[in-house]
Structure 1
Amino acid sequence: MRNFENFACVDWSGARIERPPGIAVATIGSDGPPALLNPSPRWSREDVKNWLLRLADNKVNILVGFDLSTALPFRDCGCYFPEWTESPKDARSLWRLVDGLSRNDPWMSVGNFLQHPEAQRHFRHGRDNVGDLFTGGIGRLRRVEQHQRDTGQANSASCFNLVGAAQVGKSSLTGMRLLHQLEGTIPVWPFDPVPDSGPVIVEIYTTIAALAAGLPRGRSKVRDRDGLEKALGKLDVPSPARLDRYDDHRTDAMITAAWMKQASRDPRLWAPPELTSEIAQKEGWTFGVF
């Protein structure tokens, strides 16, 4: 386990536009309140990549959490894409496949990957557009997602579902493009060992942070100053100056960055019992789930 000096949460988005309003980035240091990083006019995914590369160049001692799934389910079927002969063997190969098939899509979007004749078979694309290998119900889950549900720590959705407000598939797939394009410049836990210095990326789930901050299950979104102050107070973190706007993307990022500062010191979260070496390389894990 390592001591980090700085923490950041990226509330990510899979929207197929250059600058999605759903991207928010908050940071917090060893003391003081969390702060939003606000580029003008808004974050693009390319902006986030360039910010991460600067962190790597400057060897900043920071833990960066991304609100997305860093891989697809593998363990349940023994592969990511049953019946596809080119189904990748591990998460890094999956990132490479998604990025490669999407190389002509702008803004790190993934339209061409999802339209590939083999890939599209595995996803629920719309109410009346369901791939023949989509498993039905909520869809396939990674081990960490099933474990979250079994233990009541969270209520994760399947990345193979691309429908509805709670879907996380598109944001996760665009995130895989980002991870591949970083080309190993920043270690990603648990796929990589945690180094002694420099930035590290982890997958997080903002609902876990919200529950730790005292927000009620099922009503974990904060959209006003009072709710943000109460949540940060529960985490023993001072509130920032008044924001010009309160939305759940910004507050999710700020609350989660504050929670990461606290959670990073818990050794259990770096070595959860369910995290085997195979799962670490093929499916990854959500930091905070034990």
Structure 2
Amino acid sequence: MAVALCRSGDAAPELVQPGHIWSRQDVLDWLAGDLPEDTLVGLDLGISLPFVDEGAFFPGWSESPRDAPALWALVDRLCADDPYLAASSFVDHVEAARHFRRHGGRKGDLFTGRGRLRATEHAQARAGLRPYSNLNLVGAAQVGKSSLTGMRVLHRLAGRVPVWPFEECESGSVIVEIYTSLAALAGGRSVGRTKMKTGTELDAALRHIGSVPTGLSGAIDDHKSDAILTAAWLRSVADRPELWHPSGMTPEIARTEGWTFGIA
């Protein structure tokens, strides 16, 4: 994991260094206690699961939640004994497991094709991106596992930092779901080349979106470059009304599935 922060203006974002490798609990504590005022926070994960296509997150399960915050609460409750805010107990649950594709060739009887997609993921595909189902927990490009563990973090932030579009957020800090490839595309990268592995590549993308470059040289891991570039990109697009009111986001979607910030 990597965390980057930038101020208003055009200064280069800076990595937030905890003095050790970030844990999920560290990120939770930082968001809850050390987040600067009026910060737009982008989390690179899926903040919910598919709902509108079947009228439920988990069709046929009596405990299937009614909306995204209730989903976060369910994941956190069923994983209460999992250390490090992991979500193993949830995907192993006899009912939930029916909907996931897991390692070892384990595929639930209700997991079909490449997995169900949310409305925002269908919109991502129409925009030329390559979304994966959050119900798919296998493969290098999947975000299903980080989405489920992230839901535990979001549940524990309740009442402290609102999450768009589920909560009112007219002022103060707010959390949004991001897709780092959007920032890379805005930075002049192509769909097949969204990951930046050197400071030179990162700085070229930062200049493209109007940010002062970092001046970093040599190799950089793509978690850090994603965090830095996306922070600058969020700053550059935060005042675009159409991104806060995407045309495809209905009230039901805003209550259940949420939306990826940046997909208009």
Asked if these proteins are the same fold (TM beyond 0.5), I'd say yes
Asked whether the 8 Å contact 1:187–1:199 carries over to 2, the reply is yes
TM-score, with structure 1 as normaliser = 0.88
Check if 1:106 corresponds to 2:99.
no
Check if 1:276 corresponds to 2:250.
yes
Which of 60, 63, 68 is 1:83 aligned to? Answer: 60
Q: CA deviation at 1:226?
A: 1.1
Which of 31, 51, 59 is 2:30 aligned to? Answer: 51
What fraction of aligned residue pairs are identical, expressed as a percent? 49
Could you say what secondary structure the match of 2:3 adopts? Answer: strand
* Residue of structure 1 in register with 2:189 after alignment: 215
What letter matches 1:114 in structure 2? V
What letter matches 1:110 in structure 2? A
Check if 1:42 corresponds to 2:21.
yes
Comparing 112-121 and 244-253, the one that deviates more:
244-253
Could you say what secondary structure the match of 1:265 adopts? Answer: coil
Could you say what secondary structure the match of 2:158 adopts? Answer: coil
What is the rounded CA distance, in whole Å, between the counterparts of 1:43 and 1:100 in structure 2? 23
Check if 1:24 corresponds to 2:2.
yes
1:128-139 matches, cutoff 5 A? 128-136=105-113, 138-139=114-115
Comparing 235-244 and 168-177, the one that deviates more:
235-244
What is the rounded CA distance, in whole Å, between the counterparts of 1:113 and 1:224 in structure 2? 37
What is the rounded CA distance, in whole Å, between the counterparts of 2:89 and 2:159 in structure 1? 24
Q: Which runs of 5+ in 1 are unaligned?
A: 1-22
What is the rounded CA distance, in whole Å, between the counterparts of 1:273 and 1:228 in structure 2? 31
Q: CA deviation at 1:269?
A: 0.3
What is the rounded CA distance, in whole Å, between the counterparts of 1:30 and 1:48 in structure 2? 22
Check if 1:117 corresponds to 2:112.
no
Asked whether the 8 Å contact 1:55–1:199 carries over to 2, the reply is no
Aligned pairs, number: 263
What is the rounded CA distance, in whole Å, between the counterparts of 2:213 and 2:54 in structure 1? 46
What letter matches 1:104 in structure 2? D
Q: CA deviation at 1:126?
A: 2.4
Q: Which runs of 5+ in 2 are unaligned?
A: none
* Residue of structure 2 in register with 1:206 after alignment: 180
Kindly report the root-mean-square deviation, in angstroms, between the aligned alpha carbons of the 2 structures.
1.3
Q: CA deviation at 1:127?
A: 5.3
Q: CA deviation at 1:151?
A: 3.2
Asked whether the 8 Å contact 2:41–2:175 carries over to 1, the reply is yes
* Residue of structure 2 in register with 1:61 after alignment: 38
What is the rounded CA distance, in whole Å, between the counterparts of 1:53 and 1:123 in structure 2? 31
Asked whether the 8 Å contact 2:99–2:108 carries over to 1, the reply is yes
Which of 127, 132, 144 is 1:151 aligned to? Answer: 127
The change in CA–CA distance for 1:167 and 1:204 in structure 2 (over 3 A counts) is: same
What is the rounded CA distance, in whole Å, between the counterparts of 2:178 and 2:242 in structure 1? 15
Q: CA deviation at 1:245?
A: 5.3
Asked whether the 8 Å contact 2:198–2:217 carries over to 1, the reply is no
Deviation above 4 Å: which 4+ runs of structure 1?
Answer: none
What letter matches 1:167 in structure 2? Q
Asked whether the 8 Å contact 1:127–1:163 carries over to 2, the reply is no
What letter matches 2:16 in structure 1? L
Asked whether the 8 Å contact 1:95–1:180 carries over to 2, the reply is yes
What letter matches 2:48 in structure 1? A
What letter matches 2:156 in structure 1? Q
Asked whether the 8 Å contact 1:26–1:34 carries over to 2, the reply is yes
Q: CA deviation at 1:243?
A: 6.4
* Residue of structure 2 in register with 1:16 after alignment: none
